Chains A and B, each alone.
Chain A
Amino acid sequence: MEKFQTDPHNMGNDDMVTTRLETLVNFFREKGVNWARKNSLWPMPFATACCGIELMATGASRYDIARFGAEVMRFSPRQSDLLICAGRVAIKMMPVLQRIYLQMAEPKWVISMGACASTGGVFDTYAVVQGVDQFIPVDVYVPGCPPRPETLIEGIMAIQRLVEKDGIRPSAERGKGMGLVVQPTYQLTMPTAAK
């Protein structure tokens, strides 16, 4: 009976009481669930402007986010776990975005795509939200005006790295205290200009 009360995370390899089931559960808790999760992100496209066009291009055959398992655009937030906020958000639209975020089931992640969603962009007016992160939590910011599909794919891969490192904690326990910074994986190989 005692073996069921031990923490499966702290079991050593020489623990003889570890059953195959526990090993399996242990693997899925540490690797399997996140591995499955990061490769099957279902995006909720909140596309309001030209970033939405790039989002569609990213989903289409040339760039094909199906390669990253994120091709299933769900227009119901109940079935999505990745909110891609693409484009400028008017204040009148903000309650809609907030409700969509609240309706998404845990665990969930948010990409703020493009300059307008991240900062308001050039639309520094009374009607436009100056960055959706002022009103909902954002995990990854994708720069660009609009970002090219490669950039958005990099953002999705950043979400994948977050999912991998983040464990299966709900998003309420993530956030600023995580100390996790996602850097681009690519290296710039452009030659620097001679002075």
Chain B
Amino acid sequence: MAKPEEMLTALQSKFPSPPLELLPLVVRSNKPADQFYVRIEPGALLEVMRFLRDDERTKFEQLIDLTCVDYLNFPDAADRYGVVYSLLSLTHNHRLWIKCFVNDPRPTVPSVTSIWKSADWMEREVFDMFGVVFEGHPDLRRILTWDGFEANPLRKDYPLRGKGERENYPVIHRTDA
């Protein structure tokens, strides 16, 4: 089980600039952080991910989760969308999180489906719910909402009750049957 610092050293040996740093995933007052994320720019994402999967020191065979956070009106947040990649190495039994921040208009992240197949539907879900576009995705369609839906429901500025989608729908009367 490699320590997070060793993972970062391996990463920095390949990607010296810009300097990468380990950031705690959760900040707790009573005990030190043991889960870390690394912030990666969208342009370098594909190379970094491929390195993390293939390098012997990291060997992240699995992308176990891919999700997104909308940091609208979040205190001290500089960017709006944070795409989060959760990586697991079965070989070394260690985990690492990668965050990739993008902004309006047209938030765009390269697709990692060429590295992990499991990213396919998860990227579609993030595209559906947040409107983040994954470039290079083989089949980027909505996955949860229907095809005619236009909004991105998990964005913070989207109202919980929707914008009239559930009311504006064709009605069947008894005479139609």
Binding site for B on A (CB under 8 A): 91-92, 94, 98, 101-102, 104, 106, 108, 124-130, 134-137, 171-175
Contacts and interface: CB of A to CB of B under 8 A. Distances in A.
Given A126-B161, A128-B166, A172 B177 contact: yes
Contact of B160 (A125, A137, A175): A125
A127 B160 contact: no
Interface stretch (B87-95, B103-111, B119-127, B167-175): B167-175
B174 A124 contact: no
A174 B162 CA distance: 34
Interface in B137-157: 144-146, 151, 153
Nearest to A103: B177
Contacts of A91: 146, 165-166, 169
B70 to A, nearest CB: 16
Contacts of B163: 126
B176 interface: yes
B9 to A, nearest CB: 46
B145 A135 contact: no
Contacts of A94: 169
B172 A106 contact: no
Nearest to A91: B166
A137 B174 contact: yes
Given A92-B145, A101-B172, A126 B177 contact: no
Contacts of B165: 91, 126
Contacts of B172: 98, 101-102, 135-137
Contacts of B146: 91-92
A135 B169 contact: yes
A91 B170 CA distance: 11
Contacts of B159: 126
B160 A106 contact: no
Contacts of B153: 126-127
The 3 closest A-B pairs by CB, nearest first: A126-B162, A92-B146, A172-B175
Contacts of A134: 167, 169, 171
Nearest to A97: B172
B177 A106 contact: yes
B173 A137 contact: yes
Given A171-B174, A172-B177, 15 more contacts: A91-B165, A92-B146, A94-B169, A98-B172, A124-B160, A126-B151, A126-B153, A126-B158, A126-B160, A126-B161, A127-B145, A128-B166, A135-B170, A135-B171, A174-B174
Contacts of A125: 160-162
Contacts of A172: 174-175, 177
B87 to A, nearest CB: 30
A52 to B, nearest CB: 21
B135 to A, nearest CB: 27
A113 to B, nearest CB: 19
Contacts of B145: 92, 127
B174 A127 contact: no
A82 to B, nearest CB: 14
B172 to A, nearest CB: 5
A160 to B, nearest CB: 19
B166 A175 contact: no
A125 B167 CA distance: 12
16 contacts: A92-B146, A104-B177, A125-B161, A126-B161, A126-B162, A126-B165, A129-B166, A134-B171, A135-B169, A136-B171, A137-B177, A171-B177, A172-B175, A173-B174, A174-B174, A175-B174
